[in-house]
Structure 1
Amino acid sequence: MAEDYAAKMSRKTDAELRDYVTNRYQYREEAVLAALTELAQRGTPEPTAAGLIAELEVSKQETDRRELAVREQEAEKEQARRIARGEADPETATETGPALYSPGTITVFSVLFSMVAGGIMLALNLRTLRRTGPALLVVAFMLVYLVGGGYLLFWLKQLYGNQYNWLGSFFNLPAVLIYNLFFWPRYIGPQPYQSRPWLAPLLICGLIMLAFYYFALRFQGAMPTV
């Protein structure tokens, strides 16, 4: 329950009220505003009251925003602890928290399209959580994986011909496992979140795939026949 500063200030002496104004940075904004109001009601207003009130109102809004952010963060941590202890249903927990692409969505996009699609979605999750360092780490992992994995497949093909072409079908699988078993637990964890809609990414990936096949067919058609 919020403290009744008006009633509290009505019991203060004028000197005590002036102390609230003079040393206002030591008190809550609501208390100082109530002291200014009480002085005005007693017929002894503070000469600079108008400027002080405007300053205190701005400061109060900033304080309220900080305290709300702290309360929301604590609520999310408590909900995560309850989920970890099995005291809360994860289905219910998704009603609160930031909007993130779920591990299932990241897995499906990685398998259907590419590990790049899943990695971008994971990096967007980390960006939403304002974890820029881990997001850049995911991007770096994707680049290293593409170069290293592509070189490995090329080396196997040069060494054994087409005998190991089937490995290309499993190219995305190790990346998916690293997304779900390393990056998500380490940098996101069991915190509650809302499932982010996946229709827009699906349309974008679909259009990219169509464009890729279109230009691939055009390129094959343009090649001279022997």
Structure 2
Amino acid sequence: MAEDYAAKMGRKTEAELRDYVHNRYQYREEAVLAALDELALRGIPEPAAAALVAELQVSKQETDRRELAERELEAEKEQARRVARGEASPETQEKTGPALYSPGTITIFSVLFSMVAGGILLALNLRALRRTGAALLVVAFMIGYLVATHFALNWLQQTYGNQYVWLGSVFNIVAIVVYNLVFWPRFIGQRAYQSRSWGGALLICGLITMVYLILAMRFGVPSM
């Protein structure tokens, strides 16, 4: 319940009311505005009261926005804790939080296409959460891992022939494990989220794969 500042200020002395005004940065804006109103009601208004009211109104709007954001963040954290404890209903879980590609979707795309597809979906999740640095870290890992895997497989092929070509799938699985057991817990955690539709991503990945296969057949583009 909001505090009744008007009634509170009605019980203050003039000196106490002036203290609220002169030391206004120590008090809530609503309290100072109520003190100014009370002084005006008593016929002893504060000089430059109009300018002070305008200043306090702007400050109050900023305070209200900050406190609302803090309440929403705390509510999101509490909801995530409830989801982790299994206390939230499935309907609540589906409607709470930002829209993200789930770990299952990231895994499926990594298996169907490559670890690049899964890494891009994870980076898009982090971008949606405004964690640009973490998204860039995922992209850097993805590029570095892809280059290292390419050279490792080439070395194995030149040294041992094609008997270890199956290791490409193992490298892909390692990347999936890193996405789900390192990046996701570290940068996303147990926050509640809505499952983002993957239809558009599937269509794009399918088209890219089809174009790549056509180029590979016509121009001998090396396989990924």
- Is 1:123 the counterpart of 2:123? The answer is yes
Gaps spanning 5+ residues in structure 1: where? 222-226
State the 1:195 CA deviation. 1.8
Residues 90 and 192 in structure 1, CA contact (< 8 A), matched pair in contact too: no
State the 1:218 CA deviation. 4.2
Decide which moves more: 116-125 or 194-203: 194-203
Query: How many angstroms apart in 2 are the aligned matches of 1:63 and 1:94?
Result: 31
State the 1:23 CA deviation. 0.8
Query: How many angstroms apart in 1 are the aligned matches of 2:175 and 2:220?
Result: 30
Query: How many angstroms apart in 1 are the aligned matches of 2:90 and 2:137?
Result: 27
- Is 1:155 the counterpart of 2:120? The answer is no
Query: How many angstroms apart in 2 are the aligned matches of 1:203 and 1:70?
Result: 38
Corresponding residue for residue 138 of structure 2: 138
Corresponding residue for residue 183 of structure 1: 183
Decide which moves more: 105-114 or 73-82: 73-82
Decide which moves more: 57-66 or 205-214: 205-214
Corresponding residue for residue 50 of structure 1: 50
Alignment of 1:58-207 (within 5 A): 58-89=58-89, 92-207=92-207
State the 1:169 CA deviation. 4.2
Q: For each residue in 1:144-196, what CA deviation from the matched residue of structure 2 results, as whole angstroms up to 9, or x when unmatched?
A: 21011111211222123233333334442211111112221222221211222
| Amino acid across the alignment from 2:37 | T
Per the normalisation by structure 1, the TM-score is 0.85
Task: Tell me the number of residue pairs that the alignment of Structure 1 and Structure 2 aligns.
Answer: 221
Query: How many angstroms apart in 2 are the aligned matches of 1:219 and 1:195?
Result: 39
Query: How many angstroms apart in 2 are the aligned matches of 1:139 and 1:79?
Result: 30
Q: Any idea what SS the aligned residue of 1:168 has?
A: helix
Corresponding residue for residue 25 of structure 2: 25
State the 1:126 CA deviation. 2.5
- Is 1:8 the counterpart of 2:8? The answer is yes
Query: How many angstroms apart in 1 are the aligned matches of 2:189 and 2:93?
Result: 13
Q: For each residue in 1:37-67, what CA deviation from the matched residue of structure 2 results, as whole angstroms up to 9, or x when unmatched?
A: 2223333333322222221122112111221
| Amino acid across the alignment from 1:119 | G
Decide which moves more: 180-189 or 18-27: 180-189
Residues 5 and 31 in structure 1, CA contact (< 8 A), matched pair in contact too: yes
Residues 106 and 119 in structure 1, CA contact (< 8 A), matched pair in contact too: yes
State the 1:36 CA deviation. 1.9
Gaps spanning 5+ residues in structure 2: where? none
Q: 1:164 to 1:4 in 2, by over 3 A?
A: same
Decide which moves more: 202-211 or 142-151: 202-211
Q: For each residue in 1:118-156, what CA deviation from the matched residue of structure 2 results, as whole angstroms up to 9, or x when unmatched?
A: 112212322333434433332222122101111121122
Alignment of 1:211-226 (within 5 A): 211-220=211-220
State the 1:220 CA deviation. 4.6
The alignment yields a C-alpha RMSD, in angstroms, of 2.4
Query: How many angstroms apart in 1 are the aligned matches of 2:5 and 2:206?
Result: 60
